[in-house]
Amino acid sequence: MRNGSGQVYIVDDEYDYRFLVEQVFMRFLPQYTVRFFTSGDDLLGHVLSQTTQGEYLGNDFPSLILLDMHMPGQNGLQTLLEVRQHKVWKQIPIVMMSNATSQQERDSCYIAGVNSFLIKPIGLNRLLETMEAVCKYWLQLNQAPSPDL
Amino acid sequence: MAALTKYEHLRGNFKRAKLLVIEDNDDHWTLIRNAINQSLPELMYVRASNSAMALELLQSWTIEEWELPKLILQDLYVPTREEGWNLVKEIKEMSPVCNRIPLVMFSSSQDPDDVNEAYQLGVSSYLVKPLDFSDWLAYFKQLRSYWWDTVTLPPVQFSV
């Protein structure tokens, strides 16, 4: 049973990784709609453009945002903090992913309000396994917020 | 009990791991307890049957941080919605070691206003309670599958 838009936003600066993730979704998880962003700024630009339109955009809100922690410019944590400042977008579940963090960095993410933190999976099988578990939880089990601009 | 996880990096999720369940309904608690025993046998779990007890427990555990739970599962109606909201607010106002713990709200209510309010207050996730027993077990297996077998939960800081 799906609720929410069934859309996942994925923010990652690495082209190769985005490509791989896109392939995984296309082939193995076609029931979910994925939209990619290349940086925190890219995502925030989108958030802002949605806001200024000032209408209820219903289905256009993602059910989940997957953020890469280590990105040049605005890193994942900074992006998270900015999104959380937004009156409506702050409700949207955000999952942070990284494979090179200290315990302190992970704690900071939780303190900053991330919904979950995951170690970034390497390799096709782990990637599929992770994406499947993440989407199953957030897009099928979890009740998504229904933001109203 | 040794952690039944294949991934090294997830072992921390199971080390001295505790689950705090805030549930005022005894019948639901029986179902929950059985489901936890079967799906998350590695965990210690503690039940708080009202918000005062929950806050007291969390306060006392803050002093000995290794006692803090890895996850909090909270019923919205404890026994009223207002108490449920207040409890979330109070937990989120506690010190970082407490307020960073993922708080999963669960309720029979599917009301979008309840769901939105929960996220506004800072819950990590909102789940609708299942209807019969077999569903509770499947439900907790899914909770395990995500929160313990996929996510890296906030580690408990030990003061050495």
Nearest to B158 by CA among B35, B64, B57: B64
| Owning domain of residue A128 | 7-141
The pLDDT tens digits for A129-148 are: 999 999 999 999 999 998 76
> Nearest by CB to B125, which of A130, A142, A147?
A142
**B160 three-class SS:** coil
Q: In this predicted complex, what is the ipTM? A: 0.91
> Nearest by CB to A143, which of B96, B115, B152?
B115
pLDDT for residue A122: 86
What is the spatial distance between Cα A147 and Cα B98, in angstroms, rounded to a whole number?
27
Q: Which residues of A touch B151 (CB under 8 A)?
A: 116-118
A46 found inside a domain: yes
- Report cis status (omega within 30 of 0) of the bond before B79: yes
What is the spatial distance between Cα A96 and Cα A109, in angstroms, rounded to a whole number?
8
Indicate yes or no: CB of B151 within 8 angstroms of CB of A116: yes
Indicate yes or no: CB of A133 within 8 angstroms of CB of B147: no
Indicate yes or no: CB of B145 within 8 angstroms of CB of A141: no
Examine the pLDDT at A112 and tell me if it is beyond 50: yes
The pLDDT tens digits for B62-114 are: 988 889 999 999 999 999 999 999 999 999 999 999 999 999 999 999 999 99
Q: Which residues of A touch B111 (CB under 8 A)?
A: none
Mean pLDDT value of segment A88-114: 89
Strand partners, B125: B104
* CB-CB neighbours of A82 under 10 Å: 16
Mean model confidence pLDDT for chain B: 90
pLDDT for residue A81: 95
pLDDT for residue A3: 63
- Supply the CATH number for residue A96's domain: 3.40.50.2300
A133 has a chain B CB within 8 A of its CB: yes
A55 found inside a domain: yes
Q: What angle do CA A131, A118, A35 make, to 5 degrees?
A: 45
Indicate yes or no: CB of A141 within 8 angstroms of CB of B127: yes
Q: A118 to chain B nearest CA, in Å?
A: 5
CATH number for region B12-148: 3.40.50.2300
DSSP alpha helix (H) spans, chain A? 15-28, 40-53, 76-85, 103-112, 124-135
A149 found inside a domain: no
A146 found inside a domain: no
Measuring CA to CA, how many Å separate B52 from each of A109, B46, B57, B58, B158? 28, 14, 9, 10, 26
> Do B47 and B57 contact (CB within 8 A), yes or no?
no
Q: Would you kindly state where each structural domain of chain B is located, as residue ranges? A: 12-148
Mean pLDDT value of segment B124-131: 94
Looking up tokens 């207040």, which residue turns up?
A: B86
Domain count, chain A: 1
Q: DSSP state, B123?
A: -
Q: How far is CA B129 from the centre of its chain?
A: 14
Looking up tokens 């453009």, which residue turns up?
A: A49
